[in-house]
Amino acid sequence: MSSAMFDVNSDGTIALNILKNNIRSYLNRVIPGLITRIEWHFLRKYSKSFIDMIFEESSLALRELMDFYGGDSDSAEYIMYFALKIIFRSNHEMISKAMTHLKNGDDEEFKKMFRSEYSSLA
């Protein structure tokens, strides 16, 4: 899998970075301080942030969150839900489908959903 899962162009990269920053800011508001620990965990283990992993190796990001929480899938899904809420603009149907794809390890379907939502970036 390529490191740029969504193959965005230079203009899209800027937009993707804004989206990533929005996710980070939102997570800091809803789970203050915790995103820093999660990011540190991912950087230490994968040399990538949790938020980067969502876009590069989506289902691995969820699995690693579960590991971070000692196998507690509810806590991992709770954190991922907040990230997906920003990505899919609070569309609960899209969030639910995306979460199902992540749980099933189907990065390609997650990628298609993202591209559909942000066709100007693809």
pLDDT at residue 113 tops 90: yes
- Domain membership of residue 35 (yes or no) is yes
Residue range(s) defining the domain that contains residue 103? 10-117
**Cα 8 to Cα 64, 96, 109, distances in angstroms:** 25, 24, 17
In a domain, 66, yes or no: yes
Sequence letter at residue 46: Y
The model's pLDDT over 14-50, given as tens digits with 9 standing for 90+, comes to 688 899 999 999 999 999 999 999 999 999 999 999 9
Global model pTM greater than 0.75? yes
Q: How many structural domains are present in the chain?
A: 1
What are residue 16's phi and psi, to 5 degrees? Answer: -65, -40
CA distance 73 to 26: 21
Q: Which amino acid is at 89?
A: R
Q: Is residue 2 part of a domain?
A: no
pLDDT band at 65 (very low <50, low <70, confident <90, very high): very high
Query: Is the residue at 49 inside a domain?
Result: yes
